[in-house]
Amino acid sequence: MSVQSTAADVEIYPRPRVARLARNWLRMLVIALAVAGAAFAFSMTAERHYKAEAQIKIETGASFKQGIATEVQIVSSSDILKQVALKLNLAQLAEFDDATNMSSLTKLLVIAGLRSDPQEIPAEERVLNKMRDVLNVHGVEKTGVIAIEFSSQDPELAEAVPNAIAQAYIATRGSAKIRSNSAETSFFGPEYANLQQQVKDAEAKVANYRSQSDSGVGADSAVFATQQLSELSSELLRVRATRASAEAGADSVRKALQGGGSLDVVPELSSSDLIQRLRGRRVELRASLADLSITLLDNHPRIRALKSQLADLDGQIRNEAQKVMRGLAMQAQTAQARETKLLADVNTLKPAAARASEQQVELDALQRDANARRRQLETYQASYLAGQSGKEGSYPPVDVRILSEAEVPSEPYFPKVLPTVGAAFAGSLLIMAIATLLQQLFSGRAMRPAAGARFERIDEVEMPAIRQEPIVDTFQDRAADGTAPPEPTLRPGPFEGGVAAAAPIPSVQTVANDRFAAHAEPVARDQTVTAREPVHSVLGEIGIESAAERLIASGTARAIFVSPEGDEAAASAVLVAREVSDAGLRVLLLDLTAAGAASRPMLDGRLFAGITNLLASEAQFSDVIHADLYSDCHVIPVGTADPVRAMRAADRLPIIMQSLATAYDLVVVECGPADAAGISRVTGDATEVFLSMLEPDKEVAQAAHHLIESGYPDLTLVTPRRHQQPGWPVYGRRTAA
């Protein structure tokens, strides 16, 4: 199977970030409360501001609504504001004069040249600038209402200014209306009299032209000649159609008579009642002839009489058909004569209709001119009369009124204590939460392997075998046989000495943490390890801190721990993983021991999905990765799936290791008492192999010797002695990202 690893093999997982928020909730709450307290102090000491609003209604049509913005500019114009400032004597108030109420900071800015000196600005302009800062004039959407808002430190002044602006605006509109009426009266007076005479002349021209022309008007305002020509044309068409129909009927009857065919199929003969009666008599005679032919011969007198009668009837029918044909021919001749007469009349009326149309065009032009002058006269008349009434009256036309006057506000609009404190508390809490989440995200601890990650080809090897039977030989047995164990060649740690000379092995007290036992008893959080006498290196082993520093400095991706002494020796892998995690690296511990010796003390129980569930395809990465209760390290326990079923998919273990190495800075694997063939499946590039030891006995030395001879010459021994025990867990941290 050929696969390739990519940078998208990891994804962000939200659970550790939420857990980080839960751990830091007290700090976030204290900071938020401090900010809220500062906001409350500011709200209580800040200067109060009051706001009042007046509304003006523009009593005009929809056309004015399009220019409502112009009226807003007029309301807030300098002329109206000057009138209000002079009326209320605002220049004497310190609130509207920055020159008499400059703060120390403002004076320093003026001296430094960073701000203009208010004293250099005229007093009237300073008042106007201050009024514009606290004035808000705007039109209410989809209405003809203009709202005037004004804020001040004095509630009575906040009420007086909007009302004064509204009154000044109405007075200005009234004065402008009076002046406009006077101008309209002066302009429209002479124009109105002149236009009256022009309308009379235009209407007189229309009447004279209509009387002199021969273009009379008939129904629907149509000219007589044109209307008559249209009627004659319609009659001519009807006569032509009648003539054509009569000629066609006569021709069809003539052809039937000349051809000797049956006259029953000619439609023109069907309308003759006489022919229809003759046909009916003929049918009766033929029926009688048929009845008698059954009993009588052809020369019988009755038979011969009936045949004679039939011949007479046929002759009568043909005579009547000839009469019908002659009638149709006569009808066609009459229609032809009528057509000739109508055609002559149409030709006679055409010139007269043309002349009448020309006269009607001229008459229409004169009528349009007269109508246009009449409409202009009516417009001028309305404007003149309106201006005259406004000029003679003592008040202007009312088109603007105050919809609602401003009232003295009872409560300040700034500052609002509750909204300010609430916003400060919520904002600071949100900022602290975002900062905490970003810190967790940038640290890389919120990453996990992505589903469907792909990796390079890995040779299939056997699953690490777990050693079941201990070695029973001892140093004393070998001495009795006269043989000695092979002396291992070990690489000393960076902070320890070399291999010690042969000497009696001292009795070293184990310092494995009791939590790593299957039935550990809880200890107090503040309990520490009892001080012990310094223990010197016996086989070149190094401590937990030294092993962690070695892994961090070398950039190792995988750390494989072999514990030949059993479950208690798995403490080294756990402590090293926690030490590296506390240094800020992303660390995961994979427990491959039979009893879960490494993962059980890191979690609050042993019934968690783990590596066996992952191998058996019963869970995904997010289901088997959990958080250590004592550090930021992550752990994959042994799991709860059937080990036999999991071993069938052991070839997936290298792929899992490659995926974990991609997502984490360091993957620590506790293999238990495994041999070199067993750990080969979990090794790879940038791998360090450690042998965990509690007692420097023959079993440890023999295991180290076998690993070195099996291709791991850089084997390092590590011991958990002299390492402080971890504290109690932080509850609530269960599943890691």
Of 276 and 501, more confident:
276
Residue 552 lies in a domain: yes
pLDDT of 503 higher than 70: no
pLDDT of 551 higher than 50: yes
Residue 463 lies in a domain: no
Q: Contact at 8 Å (CB) between 75 and 56? A: yes
Of 652 and 114, more confident:
652
Tokens of 108: 């320093």
Mean pLDDT of 615-636: 89
Residue 127 lies in a domain: yes
State residue 205's pLDDT score: 80
Which residues, other chains included, contact 323 with Cβ-Cβ below 8 Å and sequence gap of 6+? none
DSSP secondary structure string for all residues of 578-611: HHHHHTT--EEEEE-SSS-TTTGGGSS-S----H
pLDDT of 723 higher than 70: no
Q: How many helices (H) and strands (E) does the chain have?
A: 21, 13
The answer on 27 and 65 residing in a single domain is no
Which pTM was predicted?
0.39
State residue 66's pLDDT score: 61
Residue 569 lies in a domain: yes
Mean pLDDT of 685-702: 86
Mean pLDDT of 651-671: 90
Residue 212 lies in a domain: no
Residue 712 sits in a domain of what CATH number?
Answer: 3.40.50.300
State residue 84's pLDDT score: 93
> Quick one: what percent of the chain has pLDDT higher than 90?
18
The answer on 360 and 402 residing in a single domain is no
* Cα–Cα distance measured from residue 364 to residue 371, given in angstroms and rounded to the nearest whole number: 10
Burial of 263 (0-12, 13-18, 19+ CB in 10 A): buried
State residue 388's pLDDT score: 65
pLDDT of 626 higher than 80: yes
At 468, the pLDDT band (50, 70, 90 cuts) reads very low
pLDDT of 676 higher than 60: yes
Residue 95 sits in a domain of what CATH number?
Answer: 3.30.1890
Q: Which of 157-171, 308-322, 676-690 has the lowest mean pLDDT?
A: 308-322
State residue 240's pLDDT score: 84
What domain range is 552 assigned to? 539-737
pLDDT of 319 higher than 90: no
pLDDT of 202 higher than 70: yes
State pLDDT tens for residues 321-365.
778 788 888 888 888 888 888 888 888 877 777 777 777 777 778
State residue 462's pLDDT score: 40
Half-sphere exposure of 34 (CA within 13 A, CB side): 7
The answer on 237 and 171 residing in a single domain is no
Of 203 and 492, more confident:
203
The answer on 150 and 107 residing in a single domain is yes
State residue 666's pLDDT score: 93
* Cα–Cα distance measured from residue 550 to residue 544, given in angstroms and rounded to the nearest whole number: 10
C-alpha torsion 226→232→235→237, nearest 10: -80
State residue 492's pLDDT score: 34
The answer on 680 and 589 residing in a single domain is yes
pLDDT of 508 higher than 60: no
Mean pLDDT of 432-461: 59
The answer on 161 and 70 residing in a single domain is yes
Residue 192 lies in a domain: no
The answer on 244 and 264 residing in a single domain is yes
State residue 460's pLDDT score: 36
The answer on 5 and 64 residing in a single domain is no
The answer on 421 and 346 residing in a single domain is no
At 262, the pLDDT band (50, 70, 90 cuts) reads low
pLDDT of 255 higher than 70: yes
Mean pLDDT of 712-734: 64
Residue 505 lies in a domain: no
At 440, the pLDDT band (50, 70, 90 cuts) reads low
State pLDDT tens for residues 2-40.
333 344 455 565 665 676 677 788 888 999 999 999 999
Tokens of 352: 């007269």
State residue 389's pLDDT score: 63
The answer on 589 and 729 residing in a single domain is yes
Of 78 and 376, more confident:
78
Q: Contact at 8 Å (CB) between 548 and 599? A: no
- The 10 Å CB-count burial string (b at 16+, else e) for 685-706 is eebbbbbbbbbbbbbbbbbbbb
DSSP secondary structure string for all residues of 193-207: HHHHHHHHHHHHHHH
Of 573 and 737, more confident:
573
* Cα–Cα distance measured from residue 687 to residue 672, given in angstroms and rounded to the nearest whole number: 17
Mean pLDDT of 55-73: 75
State residue 113's pLDDT score: 76
- The count of structural domains within the chain is 4
State pLDDT tens for residues 596-605.
888 888 886 6
Q: Checking DSSP bridges between strand 10-12 and strand 626-627, what pairing results, if any?
A: unpaired
Of 150 and 503, more confident:
150
State residue 77's pLDDT score: 92
State residue 431's pLDDT score: 93
DSSP secondary structure string for all residues of 119-169: GGS-HHHHHHHHHHHHEEEEEPTTSSEEEEEEEESSHHHHHHHHHHHHHHH
The answer on 386 and 428 residing in a single domain is no
Residue 244 lies in a domain: yes
> Quick one: what percent of the chain has pLDDT higher than 70?
72
Q: Of 392, 427, 462, which residue sits at a domain end? A: 392
State residue 218's pLDDT score: 53
pLDDT of 164 higher than 90: yes
pLDDT of 543 higher than 70: yes
Q: Which of 324-328, 405-409, 723-727 has the lowest mean pLDDT?
A: 723-727
pLDDT of 188 higher than 80: no
- The 10 Å CB-count burial string (b at 16+, else e) for 323-336 is ebbebbbebbeebe
- For the chain, the average pLDDT equals 75
Q: Contact at 8 Å (CB) between 513 and 728? A: no
The answer on 287 and 374 residing in a single domain is yes
State residue 511's pLDDT score: 31
Work out the widest C-alpha separation in the chain, in whole angstroms: 174
At 166, the pLDDT band (50, 70, 90 cuts) reads very high
Of 537 and 343, more confident:
343
Mean pLDDT of 504-518: 32
